[in-house]
Amino acid sequence: MVTDTTTDQADRAHVRTTGYAHVRLTVRDIARSRAFYDDVFGFDVAYELPDDADEQTREQLGFLFGGVIYAFGGGLLGLRPVAPGDDRFDEDRVGLDHVSFTVPQRDALDEAVAVLDRLGVAHEGVKDLDGYAILEFRDPDGIALELTALTG
């Protein structure tokens, strides 16, 4: 059998992207998760349903499912409170393994350790690897989070 290697260029094209737009995490308790992400990261809120929202606003923001969307670094991070109360994150299941956020330099990881320690958030300590360093920790639902600094 002979394979035709003169495939039209369009048949080999890939979807071209320039980055990511957003990631949304499913959480069990929006108040607890919101407090964690506010305290740890302090991201600006891009979208949330106001308590006094009228019906039209509730419809427009229905995609939030009672959650919040933060804006940072050219992207969005959403929290969606629809997980059952007894569910736990597991990076060994199909789906998300972890989310990694970049920080400007290696020193920012040491500063992050101080923030996490002050907030009582358990972490793995800074790990210096070949060309980058990371700091790993988890949110209240056990979702694996990481901070990454390029070092080389």
| Segments making up each domain of the chain, as ranges | 20-83, 95-152
| pLDDT for 135 | 98
Instruction: Please name the helix (run of DSSP H) or strand (run of DSSP E) that holds residue 115, with its range, or none.
Output: helix 106-119
Upper half-sphere CA count for residue 43 (Cβ side, 13 Å): 22
Domain 20-83 has CATH 3.40.309.10: no
Judged on CB neighbours under 10 Å (0-12, 13-18, 19+), 140 is: middle
Is residue 2 scored above 90 in pLDDT?
A: no
How sure is the predictor about 150, in pLDDT bands with cuts at 50, 70 and 90?
very high
Same CATH fold assignment for domains 20-83 and 95-152:
yes
Q: Is the dihedral of CA 108, 114, 118, 122 positive or negative?
A: positive
How far apart are alpha carbons 33 and 28 in whole angstroms?
8
Pick the CATH number of 95-152 from 3.10.180.10, 3.40.640.10, 1.10.357.10, 3.40.605.10: 3.10.180.10
Q: Which one, of 103, 47, 111, lies nearest residue 76 by Cα? A: 47
108-121 burial, b at 16+ Cβ within 10 Å, e below that, comes to ebeebbeebeeeeb
Q: Tens digits of per-residue pLDDT, 92-149? A: 877 889 999 999 999 999 999 999 999 999 999 999 999 999 999 999 999 999 999 9
**21 vs 59, 61, 86, 110, 130, CA distance in Å?**
22, 18, 30, 28, 28
Judged on CB neighbours under 10 Å (0-12, 13-18, 19+), 85 is: exposed
DSSP state of 10: G
